[in-house]
Structure 1
């Protein structure tokens, strides 16, 4: 039986979550449908455009994504500090980019006077919208529902387009985050749709590579900030060049279907993450099979289960891949 989303999200343990949505119909989300002879590649642009639009509205950052033929992978980071730092008016301005709100919230957002008897109702609405703007379930709802409606209209049909619920996994430490991001970024290579990360259309890795060639980072993706220190913007506490090299090395091994070799910089990064070479390859090629729940070291998994009052540590055996001892 599916578990309530609130029993899977613990911001006390991690702001990072891997989300996956799959289509329920035979028809493909994107790509070629051999049965009908139609091509749906244009839908990838729908997903990517809306994804970045929502990333600018919600207090949720996109760390990685890959739009595949019949499913979508995301690695998201909940930025609770940004949501709490918004003023009341900023909360309403963000929410009104998605929904109309009501007459009272519209009036306050315009700077008009609110009557004393309306204050409590206004405060309740603002608190509700603030919580929704850092809620992964609302983010995925605002992503999946418009895509489903648009696809149904194009296909001239009704009913479900996506499966009933999206999959959500807590990524409990840095190793889990980088392993999942690499798994997501290399989806097209594992599926033999392309040979290199830079050729992987509608993926975060392609955007990062293109920006890196200009000495930049994509403005619509969570940046790599190197070693984390005070007064730094939010980001992934590793060097971008190290991550790009690690993805490239891993992709070459997957593409050539052999052990291959990991460069010195990638080996150094894996040592920092405390993941053996062979374990890393298994994690990045079989992540979806190994984990159907929270991902991290055994200690992180134990803490996560305690905070959510879970009696059992599901998939504890798979989490041992994150420990070289």
Structure 2
């Protein structure tokens, strides 16, 4: 049963979310259509360009992304403090870069503006502020833009996206790491790339190119990875760049080679530090549907707290969580 987005995205539970948007049947976001032979590879740049624009406007950070032929994945973090600290002028400027500003805002800035006009303008600004830290509005501004461009190019009208985007609450650090790795390994899991560095339009490829000081394919600003506790890294994801790159490389090799059974040999230490079960972690990464269909991902303890907070009787994913964590 469809649930209200406000129940699925609750910033008091977590600022991190894994989001997935999929095209309708036989529609292609990117890639090549096997039926017509048409190539839509150039649309990957549309996604990258729009993500670059929106990440500079919204108080939403991008931790990971992967653009596939008929869907895309994002791991996002809402920076609520950033949005709350913006001045009204800053909010107006940001909103105005996406939508037209109504005349009442200009009227409220005049010396003879009435209290009623000022009050209405303030209400609008606060509404925009909340929208500029809303994942729903971020995804709306991304998907509507892409749908319009694709429909113009395809010379057609109608629905481009398969209903609402899916969102998954990432309840702890281990869940964020798992979701990021899952997203970055999409091309390898789909057998369209053999290595992380050859996985075009993924955050892992971008991180590798940045590490090697090689030219980037686009300018999406990614969240910093750092195990440092210094104030300058307070908004960073709390594991190091090397730890993450090693984990993705190790996981990708196992998935690519199709190894079965015991795979703990050479497992990156970060898995043990986050209390993740090695075999369970690899098993989860190999499943396309299971992880993407969950409303929340985290340890059994985190999921139980989430259930209580949301006043639910259960949440899908407890069994998978026990597979993933060392319980």
Determine the structure 2 residue equivalent to 1:116. 114
Determine the structure 2 residue equivalent to 1:224. 225
Counterpart contact for 1:148–1:161, Cα < 8 Å = yes
Asked if 1:208 is matched to 2:179, the reply is no
Counterpart contact for 2:251–2:282, Cα < 8 Å = yes
Partner SS state of residue 297, structure 2: coil
Query: Which deviates more from structure 2 when the two are superposed, residues 96-105 or residues 141-150?
Result: 96-105
For residue 282 of structure 1, report the CA deviation from its aligned partner: 1.1
Give runs of aligned pairs for residues 28-43 of structure 1, distance below 5 A: 28-43=28-43
For residue 230 of structure 1, report the CA deviation from its aligned partner: 3.9
Quick one: distance in 2 between partners of 1:287 and 1:34?
22
Give runs of aligned pairs for residues 137-156 of structure 1, distance below 5 A: 137-156=136-155
For residue 34 of structure 1, report the CA deviation from its aligned partner: 1.3
Counterpart contact for 2:295–2:315, Cα < 8 Å = no
Partner SS state of residue 32, structure 1: coil
Counterpart contact for 1:175–1:322, Cα < 8 Å = no
Quick one: distance in 2 between partners of 1:297 and 1:216?
38
Partner SS state of residue 307, structure 1: helix
Q: What does the per-residue CA deviation read over 1:60-79, in whole Å, with 9 as the maximum and x for residues that have no partner?
A: 00110000001111100000
Partner SS state of residue 36, structure 1: coil
Give runs of aligned pairs for residues 159-178 of structure 1, distance below 5 A: 159-178=158-177
Partner SS state of residue 213, structure 2: coil
Determine the structure 2 residue equivalent to 1:19. 19
Partner SS state of residue 34, structure 1: coil
Moved over 6 A (4+): 215-219
For residue 277 of structure 1, report the CA deviation from its aligned partner: 1.3
Quick one: distance in 1 between partners of 2:36 and 2:319?
43
Quick one: distance in 1 between partners of 2:99 and 2:199?
34
Counterpart contact for 1:249–1:261, Cα < 8 Å = no
Partner SS state of residue 11, structure 1: coil
Q: What does the per-residue CA deviation read over 1:217-255, in whole Å, with 9 as the maximum and x for residues that have no partner?
A: 977011112143445341101101110011011111111
Asked if 1:69 is matched to 2:69, the reply is yes
CA pair 216-84 structure 1, distance change in 2 beyond 3 A? farther
Determine the structure 2 residue equivalent to 1:278. 279
For residue 214 of structure 1, report the CA deviation from its aligned partner: 2.5
Partner SS state of residue 124, structure 1: helix
Asked if 1:135 is matched to 2:137, the reply is no
Asked if 1:312 is matched to 2:311, the reply is no
Quick one: distance in 1 between partners of 2:265 and 2:140?
40
Q: What 5-or-longer segments of structure 1 have no aligned partner? A: none
RMSD: 2.1
Determine the structure 2 residue equivalent to 1:58. 58
CA pair 267-216 structure 1, distance change in 2 beyond 3 A? farther
Determine the structure 2 residue equivalent to 1:234. 235
CA pair 309-113 structure 1, distance change in 2 beyond 3 A? farther
Counterpart contact for 2:55–2:61, Cα < 8 Å = yes
For residue 215 of structure 1, report the CA deviation from its aligned partner: 9.8
Quick one: distance in 1 between partners of 2:48 and 2:11?
26
Partner SS state of residue 39, structure 1: coil
Partner SS state of residue 222, structure 2: coil
Partner SS state of residue 233, structure 2: coil
